[in-house]
Structure formats: structure tokens, C-alpha cells
Amino acid sequence: EEIEKGGYDHFMLKEIYEQPRAILDTYRGRLLADQKLIKMAGIDEHLDKFVNANRIIIVACGTSWHAGLVAEYIFEDLARIPVEVEYASEFRYRNPVITDKDVLIAISQSGETADTLAAIKLAKENGAFVFGVCNVVGSSIARETNAGAYTHAGPEIGVASTKAFTTQITVLSLIALKLAQEKGSLTDEQFTSFLTELEYIPTKVEVALQSNDAIEKIAEVYKDSPNCLYLGRGYNFPVALEGALKLKEISYIHAEGYPAAEMKHGPIALIDESMPVIVIATNKGHYEKVVSNIQEIKSRKGKIIAVVTEGDVQVKELADHVIEVPETLEALTPLLTTIPLQLLSYHIALMRGCNVDQPRNLAKSVTVE
Ligand code: G6P
């Protein structure tokens, strides 16, 4: 096992650090920037199904569901296809309306999650085209779907999912870009800049990982907090959910992820000087609005840990701690902003003496209902 950990103390840390490589492996051979081409067999062979779809339904559980939420933003923004994201466990039992004009995308690291598998069967019975995004080759979901794309993240051993999440977002971005090109919903220039920027992501993730020591110091300050709030907007709303899930899973601290603007409809009541609030405030999208959310937290004496874009000035003046990530296109920011949140959970869990790789009561793959 020590050999498998490759010199890291835990699988989770190893897998966090593998992300630059895993993301590269995910788009290698698929993203051909010089030819302005995305080649993915599972999509190429069924392009008509996607292009003519009335909508895309995404089903998943846990972290994979969060990747699905990011994909909703990407598909709608880039390819202008309506998307619904569902917990597989809710979808399968709520008598959903499914037609043969729907495409269902099931996202699953293991490819074995019982609820996701059941949702696939239901969609197939109702005539939908079913596409799988899995990590484990030859898994049940990979076999049950009409077509699919592997994430090629390599084995993920830590129960808390890390590299599976970022590689799922990478695959889903490639699909969205492919469809956008086919539908003409992006200009040539926009399309090219996406391809170029995707190729920079592994290097930018490396840069984001360099904040590890600074994050460890932040973890030291907040490791005994009983609660934690995570806020983000737009593309980074699902990242806030994922950040909170990561902390809950491995450190057993109660954490909630919220869309920053919804804070005023409830969570703001919880904010006092003992409440750490992690805010994703990159310079794209809703930056100014997030800044005003940060001001609201500050005036209630909450402790602010902000994930910002390199060179940020405004948030730095307000926050108690800032963690920088490199600049990128808004749609790709989740691939960078997720990294510090993974590291923060890791260090806090470690300091609390928790079993990082095998948290209590959780399973890597949930094959029962
Ligand atoms: C379990 C794991 C999570 C994972 C979820 C979905 O709860 O502990 O890390 O996100 O299942 O798993 P899947 O393999 O379908 O992505």
C-alpha cells in the first residue's frame, strides 16, 4: 500500500496532486487544438442524438452530481441545449417525463452506483438515448449505456472523490464544446480560445497546488470550527457544494454549500465571529456581486476565506485569508477553484485525526439502494 501511495501520506493527497496529469490524460488524443477538432468516438457516432435532443438530463450521485451541475452551466452556456440535473435516487422514483427526444447522461466514477444504474434503465425503457461518463473501464454503467466517454483519471482509492470530479468536468466540457461547434453556438474565435485554454489547465492546476502550505496554515486556524459555510455563484456554485461535501465527508465538520445570493434567505442568520465562510470570488462572472456578499459577511463579523484570481485587489482588502488561483475562462474556473477546497478539507481532516482515505460510514462505491 505504501508503494501504491507513491510517497504521499494518503491516497487522497496523491490523487489531488495527480490532477494535472489526470486532466491531461482525459483530453489527450481528444482535443486537437491545431485542427480545431474534438474527437470523441462516443459522441462522434451519435452526434445527431445530441444535436437534435430536446434536452439533456444528467443523473448522478454525490460528487458526480456536482460535476453534473457544473456541466449544466457549460452545456447551456456554450451549446445552448437545455439541461436538467437530477439526483439519480430522486429521478428513478418520481415518475419522470422521459421521451425518445431526450438524451440522458449518467455520471459515475465507479460506474457501479445502484441508483444511477436504475435511472439509466428507466431512461432506456422510455426510449431516451443514454450516455455514460465513467472512470472505471468495463463497469456496469459503462456496459448499460448506449455510448459513453471514459474519464481516464486512473484508479481513485480515496473515498472522497477528487480527480474523478475534475476529469468529469473536463470530459463534459469537451462534449459541450463539440456540440457547440456542431451547432455553431460559439464563434470560431471563442471555440479556439476554449481549446487553447483547456490545454493550459494542467499547468494552472499545478500552480493552484502550490498554495498547499498556505492552505495548511489556514486549516490550523479553523480546524476546530463546528460549522462552515461555502458560497459561490454561477459556475462556482456547484464548487461551493463540492467544497462543503468534501469537508463533511472527511473531517466530520458540518458544512453547507450555498449560492452566494441565497445567503440572505437563511444562512446569513448563522453568521457571527465564529463562522468561517469560504467564498469563491474569481474575477469573472458575478465578481462585483460576490464582493458585496463578502461585505455582508464581514459586517456580521464572519471569518472570510476567499478563493480569488491571481492579482486580485478588492477581495484581498476584505477577506481574512485569500487563496489565489490562476486566471482562466469563466467556464473552466471550477477546475482551478476546486483544488484549494480539496486541500483545505484534507488538512483539516488530518489535523482532527480523521481517517482521510476511509471516513466513517462512507463507501467508495454504493452498490445498494
Ligand atoms: C459515494 C462516494 C462518493 C461518490 C458517490 C457517487 O458516495 O463516497 O465519493 O461521489 O458515491 O459515486 P460514483 O461512483 O457514482 O461517482
Which atom of ligand 1 sits closest to the CA of residue 159?
8
Find the 9 Cα to ligand 1 centroid distance in Å.
Answer: 22
**What HEC string does 192-238 produce?**
HHHHHHHHHHHHHHHHHHCCHHHHHHHHHHHCCCCEEEEEECHHHHH
Across 188-199, average pLDDT: 96
pLDDT score recorded for residue 267:
92
User: CA separation (Å) from 340 to 27, 71, 188, 280, 334?
Assistant: 22, 20, 33, 10, 11
Q: What is the pLDDT of residue 285?
A: 80
Asked whether residue 1 carries a pLDDT value surpassing 90, the answer given is: no
Question: Quick one: pLDDT at residue 244?
Answer: 98
Is residue 336 within 6 Å of ligand 1 at its C-beta? no
Percent of the chain with pLDDT over 70: 100
Considering the chain, what is the average pLDDT of its residues? 96
183 is catalytic: no
Percentage of the chain surpassing pLDDT 90? 97
Model pLDDT, residue 3: 80
What would the pLDDT profile of 243-299 be if each residue is shown by its tens digit? 999 999 999 999 999 999 999 999 999 999 999 999 999 998 899 999 999 999 999
pLDDT at residue 236 tops 80: yes
Give the confidence band of 219 by pLDDT, cuts at 50, 70, 90: very high
Ligand 1, atom 3: closest residue by C-alpha = 62
- pLDDT of 306-331, one tens digit each? 999 999 999 999 999 999 999 999 99
User: How much is the pLDDT for 59?
Assistant: 98
Q: Residue 149: pLDDT above 90?
A: yes
Query: Is ligand 1 within 6 A of the CB of residue 362?
Result: yes
**Nearest residue (CA) to ligand 1, atom 7:** 62
- The stretch 215-233 carries a mean pLDDT of 98
E strand intervals along the chain: 31-32, 37-38, 55-60, 83-87, 102-108, 129-134, 147-150, 227-232, 254-259, 276-281, 303-309, 321-325
ipTM of the complex: 0.98
Q: What is the pLDDT of residues 38-75, one digit of tens each?
A: 999 999 999 999 999 999 999 999 999 999 999 999 99
